[in-house]
Each structure stands twice: as C-alpha cells, then as structure tokens.
Amino acid sequence: GQQLNQSPQSMFIQEGEDVSMNCTSSSIFNTWLWYKQDPGEGPVLLIALYKAGELTSNGRLTAQFGITRKDSFLNISASIPSDVGIYFCAGQRVERGSSNTGKLIFGQGTTLQVKP
C-alpha cells in the first residue's frame, strides 16, 4: 500500500492566495517528484528533486527536498483558477546494491480548489 502521507487532503482558497502542501514518509527516498492531475487525465510532472535540501522552482511553483530525505513540500504562489486539480507527491527509492527500477510511490493527493 501507500507509504507517503500527504497533507492537507484538500484545500479551498481564494484566487491570489499562496498554497503550501507537504508529504512525509517513514522511509528515505532518493528522488522526490510533484505531479498535478486534472480530472480524467494522467498525472503531469511539475518538479523533480534529487538532493536533500534542494530547493527548485518552476514558475509560481517551488518545491523542496527535506534534509532528512523523508519529506518534501510544494508551494504555489499567487494561485489562479487553472491551478485547480489534484497534486501528488511521489518518491523514488533505490535500495543499496539494487538497480533502479524507476518505481514510484505516490501520496494520496491534495485536492486544490481556487475561488475566482
């Protein structure tokens, strides 16, 4: 089953507000990824993080790879109506001595609604 705990489960905000969501795990990950999923579509990659402490931006989105390698957060600044959707964190873990399968473990998602 799922190993990532994502919070909050849902958010309803006013257009223009900033948003923050996070993801925690009991296990260490080598890579953290953030995806957005629109209804009836597959997830689309927003940001990828590779090093503990790394802070990466993509337009109004900023994400950080936690120092402990067990957490990550995503911030969205100045939200707009098209930010509506479900945001997923995903972690990739490579076991020592094993090849990288590329398998991702996803959180349960944060549903974001933006009121114009």
| Binding-site ranges for other proteins (CB under 8 A) | 1-2, 4, 6, 31, 33, 35, 40-45, 48, 50, 88, 90, 92, 99-109
Between 15 and 50, CB nearer to other proteins:
50
Structure tokens at 88: 């997923």
Compute the half-sphere exposure of residue 64: CA atoms within 13 Å on the CB side of its CA: 10
Q: Is the dihedral of CA 27, 33, 34, 37 positive or negative?
A: negative
**What 3-state class would DSSP assign to 82?**
helix
Between 17 and 111, CB nearer to other proteins:
111
Q: Minimum Å distance from CB 48 to other proteins?
A: 5
DSSP code of residue 109: -
Between 1 and 116, CB nearer to other proteins:
1
DSSP code of residue 69: S
Q: Minimum Å distance from CB 72 to other proteins?
A: 13
Q: Minimum Å distance from CB 44 to other proteins?
A: 7
Q: Minimum Å distance from CB 94 to other proteins?
A: 8
